[in-house]
Amino acid sequence: ERAMIAPLCLGIAERALALSVDYARVREQFKQPIANFQMVQDKLASMYVWVESMRVFTYQALRAASAIAAQGDAGRGEIHKITAASVMHAADTMNLVLNEAVQIHGGNGFALEYAISRVLCDARILNIFEGAAEIQAQVIARRLLENRN
């Protein structure tokens, strides 16, 4: 169950990136699209890198969960650490992407008629669903600190 939170975060981050790219292409300042400005380009590039890092970690965790499930060991042991880490990373990284998306959208990032404001609102639950980041960190730390004889 925990392993399914990271893909949700990934999807939200992908949507935020797509909305930001589209917005940067059409929003104009000083008679040119804001996509021409280096700061906006830097934000978009960072968002892309974050989304791709989420994708790699999420897919890795899903592969591991699938392999564990195929063995009949549903959610015990090492998979707890892997899925908790993927959720923690995905939720934290999703927030980075969303913060930059709102920055690119400026005041429109909070206007209800823009999709990014709905994405931002919907994403909040993923930071606490299946355990807040602090709980994920405890799961990871416990597994790292277990006595392995």
Show which residues are catalytic.
Answer: 130
Rounded CA separation 134/88 (Å): 9
How big is the CA angle at 147 (ends 145 and 149), to the nearest 5 degrees?
A: 145
H-only helix segments in 106-147: 115-123, 133-145
Q: Give the C-alpha separation, 96 to 22, whole Å.
A: 18
Write the single-letter amino acid at 43: K
Residue 19 near residue 115, CB atoms below 8 Å: yes
Closest CA relative to residue 17, chosen from 104, 107, 118, 106: 104
Question: In this structure, are residues 101 and 47 in contact, taking their beta carbons and an 8 Å threshold?
Answer: yes
Task: List phi, psi (to 5°) of 27.
Answer: -75, 130
